[in-house]
Structure 1
Amino acid sequence: MLRLLPPMLVLVLAWALWSGHGEPLIVAFGAFSCLAVFGISLRMDRVIGAEPLDYGLAVRSLVYLPWLLLEIVKANLAIAGLILQSKLPDSSHLIRAKAGQSTELGRVIYANSITLTPGTITLDLRGEDLLVHALTKAAAEGVQGGEMDRRVSRLEGQG
């Protein structure tokens, strides 16, 4: 529970700085909101399990998120090009991929990153096995190439 105290303090400070209000009713609403979020966090802590919070993840995400956004834009342009040229692929591809992450959070980030990239959807994640639907052969090869897997592993703190 003590490990949730720093995020709670950040939450309260962020609310206080961004709200700009000091009226008692507004401050009470803010305090209630922060306590509610803290309560939900405690409940999530029991549900998710004992994986420790990794505060370095926030710092490492400053490198990963711009790369992911660029990949999303590139995939968007590729899919839009297919649609505009009326050259939709003859068949889509179902592929299996392995997640190289050591934590459940890392594997979920990887699966969601695949889904966020247009042209690919993670259909199933069991352990370290993913079932991915890819709209094009290039998208399937992109998942099997492992670049995103390696980057998510670095985000997670491996390598």
Structure 2
Amino acid sequence: MVWMLRLTLPLAGFWLVLSGHYTFLLLSLGALTLVIVTWIAWRTDTVDRAGVALHLSPRLPLYLLWLAKEVFLASVAVSRQVWSLRPALRPAVDLTPVGDMSELSQVIYANSITLTPGTLSLTVDDNGVEVHSLKASDIGELQAGEMHGRVRRLEVR
């Protein structure tokens, strides 16, 4: 029963925030939709009973702020390269190690790399994240480990 609340309450809150319309009809349709989605999840047994990784939540907002700053700075750098007459692009593909990160942290790390303009996560496995970059120096920065360290600090051990 607890998993139903863990599924329904965040979905309801997310829907309310995104909807912005609070008429009786729309609230009723939203409630009906939540009941149907919860019933389908129960019938198909698709809900991971382990729950959501709420242990990340206290540190996640600071990480997201840092990531937003990095995305902005990388956007400016990529824009400069695109608009320059002689771009200094040296595309490269290399592996950045993940160490003993949990699967969730590996996914956060790989998605953070992909969100940052100029870099793209190609594959993720236990050896590391294969990264394509517009500049080889960007891979060097990833291998230096600042982003890796910040993702590691999200984990509660």
- Give the TM-score category using the shorter length: 0.7 to 0.9
Q: Which runs of 5+ in 2 are unaligned?
A: none
Counterparts of 2:97 and 2:55 in 1: how far apart (Å)?
24
Classify 1:128/1:53 alpha carbon distance in 2 versus 1 (closer, same or farther; 3 Å).
farther
Root-mean-square deviation (Å): 2.7
Distance apart, 1:101 and its partner CA:
5.4
Counterparts of 2:129 and 2:8 in 1: how far apart (Å)?
34
Q: TM-score, normalised by structure 2?
A: 0.79
Distance apart, 1:77 and its partner CA:
0.8
User: Within the alignment, does 1:143 sit opposite 2:146 as a pair?
Assistant: no
Counterparts of 1:13 and 1:71 in 2: how far apart (Å)?
29
Counterparts of 1:4 and 1:127 in 2: how far apart (Å)?
33
Distance apart, 1:116 and its partner CA:
0.6
Q: Give percent identity, aligned residues only.
A: 31
Tell me the number of residue pairs that the alignment of Structure 1 and Structure 2 aligns: 152
Residue 54 (structure 1) aligns with: 53
Q: Deviations over 1:107-134 (max 9, x none)?
A: 1110010011011101111124211011
Counterparts of 1:52 and 1:99 in 2: how far apart (Å)?
24
> What aligned pairs does 1:109-148 form with structure 2 within 5 A after superposition?
109-148=108-147
Which secondary structure does the structure 2 equivalent of 1:91 belong to? Answer: coil
Counterparts of 1:33 and 1:128 in 2: how far apart (Å)?
42
Q: Which runs of 5+ in 1 are unaligned?
A: none
